Structure 1
Amino acid sequence: MLVYVDDLIVGGNDSTAIQRFKSYLSQCFHMKDLGKLKYFLGVEVARSQRGLFLCQRKYALDIITEAGLLGAKPVTTPMEQNHHLGLAKGPCLTSPDKYRQLVGRLIYLCFTRP
């Protein structure tokens, strides 16, 4: 069993015991069974005969979309090598909170690698 705030994942290899446990929980709490796990905390879950496959593709695409970079061309090095940084001459960030949120999501993406 895995609990995060108001989300609950129940797993195991005995389907009868899982069903009994879910029935017990639904008697104690108002809950909704969403079926087999597909997505949880930014991680996609896919099942196969060989086991579970965990992927963060959708979460990464959401970050790229939010940053407005979905149409950008991928490159191996996004900046010239040995580039000398200077003072920015453009306007300041319009929304520092959005920048902080984006950086936070990138940090979460890096630290929750499946």
Structure 2
Amino acid sequence: MFSKHGHLNIDGYSDADWAGNVTYRKSTSGYFTFVGGNLVTWRSKKRECSSFIQREAEFRGMTKGICELLWLRKLLTELGYKPTSTMNLFCDNKAAIAIAQNPVQHDRTKHVEVDRHFIKQKLEAKVFQFPFVKSEDQLADILTKAISSKAFHISLDQLGIGDIYAPT
């Protein structure tokens, strides 16, 4: 059920599990996106190739989340609802946020250079920002790794997902 929150802000949560697949050591990335405070899209996907470092896995996951946020913004614009606020993509990895915000490329980040230029252009235009979120508040964890049942149910509540058959 969608709730009216009085705004059409577009926000997202992005996370990655670095080399979590025990067989092939591939990373899993995932994101949730919200429009007007309501969950509208989500995705979880195992990466095609292994990441050498955690910040690369997180950064690549952020790139996928950004693409989804931009698509939602364009869709709303085409429907006649031009979003006016900066979009937020919440991430729990400070190293990945630093790569996105750092104007200087280092040798160790050349393999993500294309994504970095894409993100840099959008950051400079103030289309979105990367607020840091503590790991325990990261909603996208349920898409990328095993969590406790308590944390899972708390996440479902925060996502606005409820059991319509549960007694009231």
TM-score (norm 2): 0.22
TM-score (norm 1): 0.29
Of structures 1 and 2, the one with the larger relative CO (CA 8 A, separation 6+) is 2
Structure (1 or 2) with the greater helix fraction: 2
